Structure 1
């Protein structure tokens, strides 16, 4: 693994049909760090991730990996460097957990190459890391939402890419499993130098686990930087339209956002 891959977007414009979602976006993903993308619903977080993994072609601008436009790279070459866990992945009907996780090894296999011991080791390690080894022989469509989410993350880990993009990886998980997944991604970053980019809805988990935050608003970059630089009361008001108070998290020392509604407020 290496931390030397550089992923950035330049003057990026994205949309669907007549609707523009992202307009004129420039940003740099810090290599070897954990980045969280935050923002209100429909601000373009998932759309940005789709374009960064070349699932969505830009209207203008480009996504650049190590100086090359990702839309001009051979698919298998890109898949050996950059992996994506989309928001709502769909498994083939009747596939087992082991087979699904094994699909993460496809980018590492040539046209005539066979399954290897290295592939077995990678799949076993991914299953073990996500605590899904006991599910290996189960069919994916028999699992709970939380179990399925961990299996999809295992497939992404088995791909063993230097950059990993995850769209809401804590979806369907209870709070204990959310923390376990984010701890797992942190371990992956610290032990292997994997660059992690993830979309998260929970601002406080994003601030606790990310080295770098990207806040989107109205299809544009509103703020980018460390959690202390980005998770401020003014940014939360501007991005989410929410009155709030930001304090220091006594556990992590990171900023902690407290939402303020119309009720249950001490005068």
Structure 2
């Protein structure tokens, strides 16, 4: 089992140049749980994740890991606790799958330490878990988008961190592989207690696979909590400007959002809230 760590965000303001994307945000991430961040395009989801992983320095406020500012921690020390899969990562030209996944072990290498059996096991487990072992000698440049995404996830898993941040981990994947990746992350959370924070576009997948949802709107938290409390018709309308219905997913019991196009709304339809069980999957 992994160790549980606290991550707290205090009065966080983020932006690029003169443009502010997130302003005065306060947040406590639940330890040992799966949290998904949802919201409309350009609302600050990826920006928030970048700051949590210290890729983007705050204009104001702080991101605290166990009470320590992540932007003041030594990079290697942070990387042994917190892993990141960014949006559209770029692999070095010509690198093989095996070498790329092996880079996930870099934070565990000291000045005088050498690659050892523990590193071999971590890489092998990551390749097996993501079903990419057969690609180990292939160049990453030769892979399809879906294969490449699974290889990047394998590298993040090989890092074996207690916290894992993933920005759109299902990008480029078909529906079958999306489910496979999200099941994989759930297994990781349940078997090792890994705290997982991910940005997802698919609201229904986020509700099904998360313990905790955060809905961002215009750089602020519109709603946060259990998926049944966050994925409501009123919140979807407010955050996405979308007419919708929320019902209980017949498979998982989690809330499921049905978008309403203007040509598919019955004249006598009235907004209503579904009675949704709080079970996760």
User: TM > 0.5 between the two?
Assistant: yes
Aligned-CA RMSD value = 0.7
- TM-fit CA distance, 1:61: 0.2
Aligned to 1:166: 166
- TM-fit CA distance, 1:3: 4.6
Deviations 1:136-159 (Å, cap 9, x if unpaired)?
000000000000000000000000
TM-score of the superposed pair, with normalisation by structure 2: 0.94
Aligned to 1:201: 201
CA distance in 2 between partners of 1:100 and 1:238 (Å): 41
Aligned to 2:2: 2
Deviations 1:14-55 (Å, cap 9, x if unpaired)?
000111000000011100000000000000000000000000
Aligned to 1:136: 136
Aligned to 1:49: 49
Contact 1:10–1:27 (Cα < 8 Å) also in 2: yes
Deviations 1:77-114 (Å, cap 9, x if unpaired)?
00000000001100000000000000000000101111
Point out where structure 1 has 5 or more consecutive residues left out of the alignment.
none
CA distance in 2 between partners of 1:60 and 1:3 (Å): 29
CA distance in 1 between partners of 2:83 and 2:241 (Å): 33
Q: Does 1:154 align with 2:145?
A: no
Count the aligned residue pairs. 267
Aligned to 1:221: 221
CA distance in 2 between partners of 1:18 and 1:185 (Å): 37
Aligned to 1:85: 85
CA distance in 2 between partners of 1:83 and 1:143 (Å): 23
TM-score of the superposed pair, with normalisation by structure 1: 0.99
Q: Secondary structure at the match of 1:101?
A: helix
Aligned to 1:102: 102
Q: Secondary structure at the match of 1:216?
A: strand
CA distance in 1 between partners of 2:68 and 2:171 (Å): 32
Aligned to 1:240: 240
Aligned to 1:181: 181
Aligned to 1:231: 231
